Copies of this chain bind each other. A is one copy, B any other.
């Protein structure tokens, strides 16, 4: 099987993608959550899970292997679970992480997973956990790699099982990177990032971001990435945006056991709910009180079903967001469910260039982009403009660089005041000497020739000049480095209330050895009049030279 026959990507946004994984028991559309089914006692049957909207399920091959008699003898995992779709089996590594040891050898569990006809199988890796001891972490990485090589030598490729090569390293991101590089050199179909469960329990999402990035950037994009043990619906959009394609979770059932009611952003304690804020088939027929008065087992089942509906809905919304190119906007919403998740969103600034590279330049339908505050300035469309402006755009050879604040109308050059200015410049034959750039809190600098490029006139921004000051001054400084030396005069047009910003911009120009002239106005009309006066004056000076 070629990798293309196993996994195809059909849509992309940020580093997230909609894809299809082909297994011998059918197709899985990704991003996908595989609800974990306890083989000994499933509170929701696999076929019910499927009917809620999940293509595949996950179960634990180790538990199955230890309970073969009880489960009616050794049969295919599909027969054992009564489910004919794709089944992923884990190998006992979770038990290793939790209890420190398992009662099975790496070889044994590889063979067992093949024998029970698992669609997606995992080697018995050694989870790093959250240990801070680097040597110990490295040991778990090396041992996992050794076992991964062992698997290659004994697995039966004829069986059509998709093998998962886990990445370890824990919070040591250099080890995660090493682990990812090494394991992706081996012939695995899918990779997985281990050890995040504890991190997620402790809301350490920022660390998780760094771990996912370290793993993702060191493996080929053609292999799906699984995140073990995730997760809560509120963090799925973030993980998907970083490039995770698969998730397995028992949270729907574990939360149900402790009366926790999941929503896309918060988890509520059932006893605190006035009403059930959901219209899924469970919640639309019962009330909080009904649930509380049910026998424990029945309530657990109903809550588990509700939790599954919420997870299924979240995956649909994530896919819809990818297909509309607004996954970043979903992130901004979802990462407001907990301050630690918000810190993880802010962390994306550290990885903004990577996200920009992943993000497809052309998307199906062009939408305007929403910009809220400085966090939004890390979204790929914004970063891309900066990167391209500074690396690919060749500013025209003019004499003056004229910097104007972003006008009210988009595209900027069609604003009535800007038109008045450009017309007047044309009349006094100054046009060819002037290179006009708009400074904007959202994009830094926008040369007038580019202002119709998407999304430079298709955006809605709440980011004001105060929040965007760093962005503007930063881009201007870099721009002046690459701009022709012929721009020896920079004219800054600013509103009176933007004096601080104009001052910082002036500083950036002086540092780049340019002369600076400032013109102020209380509105665009006044500013344009001031600028025209200034242009006329320096035009006369110019001619006398």
A contacts, CB < 8 Å to B: 263, 265, 268, 272-281, 284, 309, 312-313, 316-317, 319-320, 323-324, 329, 332-333, 336-340, 342-343, 346, 365, 370-373, 460-462
Contacts and interface: CB of A to CB of B under 8 A. Distances in A.
B371 A339 contact: yes
Contacts of A342: 372-373, 462
Q: Which 7 A-B pairs have the closest CB atoms?
A: A339-B462, A279-B280, A277-B316, A277-B317, A333-B336, A279-B309, A342-B462
Given A281-B284, A336-B336, A336-B372, A319 B275 contact: yes
Contacts of A460: 338-340
A278 B268 CA distance: 19
Nearest to A308: B279
A279 B320 CA distance: 15
Nearest to A442: B339
A515 to B, nearest CB: 31
Nearest to A459: B339
B340 A279 contact: no
Copies of the protein in its oligomer: 2
A462 B279 contact: no
A332 B335 CA distance: 10
Residue in A275, A279, A462 whose Cβ sees the most chain B Cβ within 10 Å? A279
B274 A319 contact: yes
Nearest to A275: B316
A320 to B, nearest CB: 6
B284 A280 contact: yes
A370 B268 CA distance: 15
> Which of A281, A339, A346, A371 has the most chain B CB atoms closer than 10 A to its own CB?
A339
Nearest to A332: B336
A278 B53 CA distance: 11
Contact of A462 (B272, B323, B343, B372): B343
Given A316-B276, A319-B275, A265 B333 contact: yes
Contacts of A329: 336
A370 B277 CA distance: 21
A280 B77 CA distance: 33
B346 A462 contact: yes
Contact of A313 (B277, B281, B317): B277
Contact of A339 (B336, B346, B365, B370): B370
